[in-house]
Amino acid sequence: MIVQSLRLRLLLSATGAIAVALVLAGLGMAALFDRHVERRIQNELATYLRQLSGGIEFAEDGSFSVGVPMADPRFEVTFSGLYWQVEDDDRALAIHSRSLWDTRIALPTDPLQVGIIHHHQLPGPDGATLMVQERRILFPTLEGERSLRIAVALDRADLVAAREAFAGDLVPSLGLLGVVLVLAVWFQVSMGLRPLDAIRRGVNAVRTGRKSRLPGNQPSEVMPLVDEVNDLLKNQEEAVERARQRAGDLAHGLKTPLTILQSDAGRLRNKGEARLAEEIEGLVETMRRHVDRELARARLNEKGTRQDQDTNLEAMVDKIVHTIRRTPQGKVCRWLVDIPSNLRVRMDDGDLAELLGNLVDNAVHWAENEVTIRAEGNAPQGFVRLLIEDDGPGVPQEALGKLGSRGVRLDEQVSGNGIGLAIVRDILSAYGGHIDFTNKPDGGLQVITTLPQTDLADPQQSKA
């Protein structure tokens, strides 16, 4: 399975490399330790060999012995692991240390040059393997020169024990070093990937409209990516702007022919062609709705959904309510407004006014006596929850899901002057908001919208 996380890939590869390096380092250090200990043992055996050579004495009958006791007491302890042995060339006479007891080291029969030290690995007591140094020395006697083979030996188990003790200390140390190195790599990877996190935040800021470009203060390794993304954003903005201009030009170009058609329909009605006039007026009204919607969308997109703006919701609601209260329908309604005074939304004031105007206008069209407008911040987190309710007949349950769709309006049977809920959905979509429609249990329609919030500090409730 391919690991998708770049951080995990880097950590796994670095951890594997560290593990291999530590294993190789451990093996290398163990080998160096073996060489060091073995060299020290060989030097120690050479010292014993010189000491033993200096202590050999010859008797009148030709026998020989070691007149001076060896300095290391292990030579006197049975099977202690440290031994010496002296024999003549024909192996007829031989003496050895007390530590060998009744055994004998089977020295090889190879010819020895005088004074040259030979090294052997030979079997010893109890199946042990001995590290042996052997030397042939000529001794002057009354009868002439006497040649003896002198050997000292050490049980190799001592070297193995030292190696195991060293490994027992080395493995935890290397393990601790490995943990430290992995933590260092994790810190290094985190620091190295931090610019990517900054780019992610920058892309999020561009997507939500808080920024128009990615920040340029990035490491040189990621600046080519930042530059390419910024160039892509620039090209996209230019392409979208050209499309908006064409849509706006088309919509404005259709307004004059529609006005002429509307005038022609009036003249046909005056000439008694009422049915034909109504058909033309119906088509003109449908086309005008589409034109008005495209003009509104072009105006919305022309500002690039400047979500960096900061608009006071209470002030905008008061402005819309004050305007609609002056209409005949608004005068007869009772208004219940409950908006925190410092609640602010991250929207352009024109877009917010158009959204509120359509929603409140629809509520007034259908209300019998009362319109309620309420809002609360951070519901959900980072969004304002705005409720607009009327006490009218509501909407059939099967039609709730179609509200705001193209060609569907709440006021199909009641005259109105807005562009409908379709542009409301367009505005909310541009700002990352949402809209829901529900029928109240006691009658009437409840419209719930979520708007991006910028601040909520010390909210105070406005008067009803």
Question: β-pairing, 311-312 with 344-345?
Answer: antiparallel
Residue 274 CB: number of other CB atoms within 10 A? 12
Range of the domain at 439: 311-455
Q: What distance in Å separates the CA atoms of residue 229 and residue 219, rounded to the nearest whole number?
A: 15
Q: Is residue 213 part of a domain?
A: no
Kindly list the distances between the CA atom of residue 102 and the CA atoms of 79, 82, 97, in Å, as whole numbers in the listed order: 10, 15, 10
pLDDT for 419 equals 55
Residues 286 and 344 in one domain: no
Q: Is the dihedral of CA 194, 200, 203, 205 positive or negative?
A: negative
Residue 401: pLDDT band by 50, 70, 90 thresholds?
Answer: confident
Based on the domain organization, do 279 and 174 belong to the same domain?
A: no
pLDDT at 407 (0 to 100): 53
Could you report the per-residue pLDDT of 268-321, keeping only the tens digit for each? 888 888 888 888 888 887 787 777 777 766 666 555 455 457 889 999 999 999
Summarised one tens digit per residue, pLDDT across range 317-333 is 999 999 999 888 888 99
- Which carries the bigger pLDDT value, residue 225 or residue 62? 225
| 360: nearest Cα among 373, 347, 349 | 373
Which CATH number belongs to the domain containing residue 247 in this structure?
A: 1.10.287.130
d(CA 183, CA 462): 55
Residue 265's pLDDT band (boundaries 50, 70, 90)?
A: confident
320 against 402, higher pLDDT: 320
The model's pLDDT over 413-455, given as tens digits with 9 standing for 90+, comes to 444 434 568 888 888 888 888 999 999 988 899 999 999 888 5
184 & 229 share domain: no
Q: Are residues 167 and 35 in the same domain?
A: yes
2 vs 206: which has the higher pLDDT: 206
Helices 223-270, 157-207: axis angle to 10 degrees equals 30
Q: Is residue 63 part of a domain?
A: yes
DSSP-derived secondary structure for 321-346: HHHHTTSHHHHHSEEEEE-BTT-EES
Q: Tell which of 144, 176, 205 closes a domain.
A: 205
Q: Give yes or no: residues 285 and 341 share one domain.
A: no
Token digits for 268?
A: 């046909």
Does 211 reside within a domain?
A: no
Q: Is residue 49 part of a domain?
A: yes
Neighbours of 1 (CB within 10 A): 3
Domain presence at residue 82 = yes
Question: Is residue 217 included in any domain, yes or no?
Answer: no
Q: How far is CA 379 from the centre of its chain?
A: 29
Domain boundary among 152, 173, 205: 205
Q: Quick one: pLDDT at residue 408? A: 53
Give how many domains the chain has, as a whole number.
3
The CATH number of residue 375's host domain is 3.30.565.10
Identify whether 59 is part of a domain: yes
pLDDT for residue 222 is more than 90: no
* Angle, CA of 125, 112 and 160, to the nearest 5°: 35
364 with 382, same domain: the answer is yes
For residue 124, the SS3 value is coil
The predicted structure's pLDDT at residue 397: 83
Greatest extent of the chain over all pairs of C-alpha atoms, in Å = 165
pTM: predicted TM-score of the whole model, two decimal places: 0.55
Q: State the average pLDDT over residues 203-222.
A: 80
Helices (H) and strands (E) in the chain, counts: 8, 14
120 and 266 fall within a common domain: no
93 and 144 fall within a common domain: yes
pLDDT digits (tens, 9 = 90+) for 233-256: 889 888 877 877 787 777 778 878
289 & 378 share domain: no
Does any domain span residue 450?
A: yes
Q: Exposed, middle or buried, 154 (CB in 10 Å: 0-12/13-18/19+)? A: buried
Question: What are 321-364's pLDDT values in tens digits?
Answer: 999 998 888 889 999 999 998 899 988 888 899 899 989 998 99
Residues 356 and 438 in one domain: yes
Q: Please give the mean pLDDT across all residues of the chain.
A: 83
Q: What are phi and psi of 27, to 5 degrees?
A: -65, -45
Segment 164-206, tens digit of pLDDT? 899 999 999 999 999 999 999 999 998 888 888 888 888 888 8
Single out the residue in 161, 179, 205 at which a domain terminates: 205
Per DSSP, the residues of 242-289 read HHHHHHHHHHHHHHHHHHHHHHHHHHHHHTT-HHHHHHHHHHHHHHHH
**In whole angstroms, what is the distance from residue 464 CA to residue 460 CA?**
12
Residues 99 and 139 in one domain: yes
Please check whether residues 70 and 168 belong to one and the same domain. yes
